[in-house]
Structure 1
Amino acid sequence: MPKRGYHHGNLRQALIEATLKLIEAQGPQGFTLSDAAKSAGVTPAAVYRHFAGRDDLIAEVARQGFAIFADLLDHAYDGGRPSALAAFEATGRAYLAFARKFPGHYPAMFESGISLNSNPDLARSAERARGVLLRAAEELSKHIPEGRRPPASMFAAHIWAMSHGVVELFARGQPGTRSPYSPEDLLESGIGIYLRGLGLVPPDA
């Protein structure tokens, strides 16, 4: 493949785009730094102008993913409108939508083995995404009597875990994981059962 010329600045993003395609095709552990360089049309040595190594490259893919993820969650939450409950449920749907729309970023974020604390920018982006769910949980938990109110961080972690589980098992086209229900229905009903147990959703008539 002929090597392409890049103006200063776009080689970095070209490597990220190449890495995203490799992750989609082969998973975050299924390629080397040389594969990413080849896919971007440059020599492996050129990668080191922008990244310290393969882990650094994947960490940047994950950072960009968390930044997009946080924006989508924040847009879905919309400041708690039209109600804390509706906004909270919207963040769950946004989780599923992100996993489907960004199939390269999602594995880099959650399946690459890269520590979220591997660099400060990645840590900040991940924390911003978690912060949206935490803020949503804090607002919704205000409707629970104080003596029965779980910590907002636990509340948010439960919903994050439920959303992640539905994505991993039913929303990413993995073989052998078909369900008679859509991922959206599974997540909505799961969140409904959880919130009903907290008294935030009235019991079925």
Structure 2
Amino acid sequence: MSRSRSTKKRPDAYHHGDLRRALIDAALRTLTRHGVEELSLRALARDLGVSPRAPYRHFATKEELLAAVAVSGFRASASFTEERLVAAGPDPLARLRAVGEAYVLFAVQHPAAFRIMYAPYATVNENAPELLRARAEGHAAAMAILEDAQRAGLVREGDPMQLALAFWSTMHGLATLLIEGQLARHDRPIDAAFLATLVSGLLLDGLKRP
């Protein structure tokens, strides 16, 4: 009597289409614990229980994988921000404030992704089309809100790109200081949400039409 063999896959086996996402998620877990220099495709393959060459079917280099991690971060950031825009309602100033606060809070809650989204150019494949598109879409969404505020007469006149740069660089600076622990104080806990609200409010006071 013949005995049928089990065809059940191992829990760590990935069918076609799953491994790319698994590599991105595994890379983020590694980056949460270690720096970029500790990340390698072969190590991720070992952690995921696949052959050492399997990751190379999806990413030719570590820089390509990091670009995909950045794209994933921009998409997650867009969803995170959209939730706050819905709550902010139609008022352009409230929406602009929501964008600034969401930027900081996303960074604090997802520091590993945030660092890769804005990593030095040598770290990530900056020419990856998906990354260029994801980054441009994020910038365009924020610019559209600022331009709405200008058209409504709520924000001062001037080059919207320059105004957006001032707004972004300030919120980016706060986000970076927070995730790098440079604002930590032993006598008082740091409230990232409070700081994000305070700084974005001060910025809007400066951007409002005189």
- Structure 1: 5+ residue stretches without partners: none
Please say which of residues 157-166 and 99-108 is displaced more in the overlay: 99-108
Q: 1:46 to 1:92 in 2, by over 3 A?
A: same
Partner residue in 2 for 1:160 = 168
CA 1:130–1:118 in 2, change beyond 3 Å: closer, same or farther? same
3-state DSSP class of the match of 1:16? helix
Amino acid at match of 1:153: M
What residue number does 1:29 align with? Answer: 37
In structure 1, the residue matched to 2:103 is: 95
Equivalent in the alignment of 1:111:
119
Question: Which stretch of the first structure deviates more once superposed, 56-65 or 76-85?
Answer: 76-85
Identity of aligned residues (%): 29
Aligned length: 197
Contact 2:154/2:208 (8 A) holds in 1: no
Matched AA of 2:128: N
Displacement after TM superposition at 1:145 (Å) = 8.1
Displacement of 1:35 after TM fit?
A: 2.1
Structure 2 residue runs of 5 or longer lacking an equivalent are: 1-9
Equivalence map 1:165-184=2 (5 Å): 165-170=173-178, 172=179, 174-178=180-184, 182-184=191-193
> Normalising to structure 1: TM-score of the pair?
0.82
Mapping of 1:24-173 within 5 angstroms?
24-78=32-86, 81-111=89-119, 113=121, 114=123, 117-144=126-153, 148-170=156-178, 172=179
Q: What are the superposed Cα offsets for residues 88-132 of structure 1, whole Å, 9 maximum, x if unpaired?
A: 111112112322333332122112534574211111111111112
Distance 1:140 1:118 in 2: 32
Q: Distance between the aligned counterparts of 2:153 and 2:110, measured in 1?
A: 35
CA distance in 2, matches of 1:175, 1:194: 23
Q: Residue 145 and residue 34 in structure 1: after superposition, are their counterparts in 2 closer, same or farther (change >3 A)? A: closer
Alpha-carbon distance in structure 2 between the residues aligned to 1:77 and 1:21: 29
Q: Which has the larger radius of gyration?
A: 2
Candidates 171, 181, 189, aligned match of 2:198: 189
Q: For residue 60 of structure 1, report the CA deviation from its aligned partner.
A: 0.7
Question: Could you tell me how far 1:74 is from its partner in structure 2?
Answer: 3.2
Q: TM-score, normalised by structure 2?
A: 0.80
Cα distance change of structure 1 residues 84 and 40 upon mapping to structure 2, 3 Å threshold? same
Return the alpha-carbon distance in structure 1 between the equivalents of residues 205 and 142 of structure 2: 18
Take 2:114 and 2:54, find their aligned partners in 1: how far apart are those partners? 26
The equivalent of 2:7 in structure 1 is none
Matched to 1:103, the amino acid is P
Contact 1:99/1:167 (8 A) holds in 2: yes
Name the SS of the counterpart of 1:29 in structure 2: helix
> Is residue 77–residue 136 contact of structure 1 (8 Å, CA) maintained in 2?
no
